[in-house]
Structure 1
Amino acid sequence: MAAPKNRSARLNRIVNELNTKYALDWASGERVSADYDDARREWSYGWTDGPTVEQVRRAARKADREVTEGLLYRRELSQKTVALGAIRLAVAPTARRDFRDRPSVTPSDVEELWRTVSKPRPRDDREQAMAAAIVAEANGDRGLNWASVYDLCRTVQEKGLAVFLRRAGVELTPIERLTDRYASSPASLAWSHQLTPLTALEAFSAVQADTEAKPQAVTDALTLLPDLHAALDEAAAELQARLQDETAA
């Protein structure tokens, strides 16, 4: 089958349309580029983060079905996006566990998480700062973009998330500060790796039992009173309903 005429020019014309359509940023590497592999004699579109493979494939085929026949599509994930994916996977309630009962975070899991997500972005400044701290740790002193997807995932798997939350320099909530100070195993594992805080009652009781608790801890504990009252009211209502059921029986 003969190659389409003016394929290079036509593919690059589509590239310009795609970059405009999805408002892709050149500086961050999001912009799509057309590349030719001389050894394999094949064309491909490559970009970082940005739209999904399916979005680009559909738009490219719609623009010129003939010239995109057999075209390969390769979306890479930036270190920042990999780190974000690792965070999301680690904190998920349904996260798989490794043999040490820690959330399992793998490159294939991260890839699957973002497969249908266009332009992955941090949810807030806190998540962005955590991702930056993870990237810095994984790269170490070896330079920017040195760490692989595996390195980033392993960093989260081995060190957990709490250490990067601290390094991010963001303000912890009262319950988080108390959890960071008082959580013991297995609650400490859940906090270190998944940022799962203590319950209000657990945190309050820990401060109450600490006769040398610092003023900040006492203040944080007192902010939990509304949550404590609500939890106790709910528990009391459940007990009352149970009593009524048993009495009726």
Structure 2
Amino acid sequence: DNHAVREAACACIAELGSKINSDVVRPHVPTLIEALLESFKDDSWPVRDAACIACGNFIQCFPEECRPQMDSLYPLFFANLQDNIPSVRQGAAVALANVARAYGAESLQFLLQKVQEGLEGIEKQPASTEKYSGLDKGPATYGVVKKLRDNDMDLHTNQTMYSCGSLAPKMGRGRSGGCMDHQFRKPVEPWELTEGCVHLLAELSQIPAAVKQVAELLPLVAQAAAKHHYPQHQVLLETVCKQ
């Protein structure tokens, strides 16, 4: 139940696809891709991130063998593209670019349409995040937003104490706890998808066949970056400037 083991397993599968003789790995592709699909739905975001990147690499190595699973994989890729965690969004962009390399024009057109929708979706971003009133408005600790109830003294008085390095009580799947709560999620906001699409557009720009179509979407990127009506606009602007 250690999330780090599952994360490492995803990385190993990606390595199998890229570094082991393809004829040796090919008979095992259905089993391996099923394992990645399962990991893609993991409660722990580092596992989802690793599974996403591994899937992109694996698809590039075995495009035809993975094709039957694409209907299941695309929604998972797009879910990661709008994840609350910035590095997960970046990983999804890298993986989807590998999908475009594997399947060419058929995938590229689909992805560019999704990018356009994501960039235009910034119009739906609320002016504030007051609707998430259940979250603490103070600075986040180690990137994890605290719920207001976490400051209830009754929850932290006369309770059993454990060492940070201890695995007791056991941290199983579907349960939070420990120094790093990798299971934290909050409702997705439109700007997060827009930012993920900026990352994806940057990755697609490295594919020669996509350069012209990527350039045609740049005005939408500029328009999205010009929206300053929500608190996180600086994050999106920073991402645009770094690409």
Relative to the length of structure 2, the TM-score reads 0.25
Pair member with larger Rg = 1
Give the structure, 1 or 2, with the largest relative contact order (CA under 8 Å, sep 6 or more): 2
Give the number of the structure whose residues are more often strand, by fraction.
Answer: 1
Task: Report the TM-score, using the length of structure 1 for normalisation.
Answer: 0.25
Larger relative helix fraction: 2
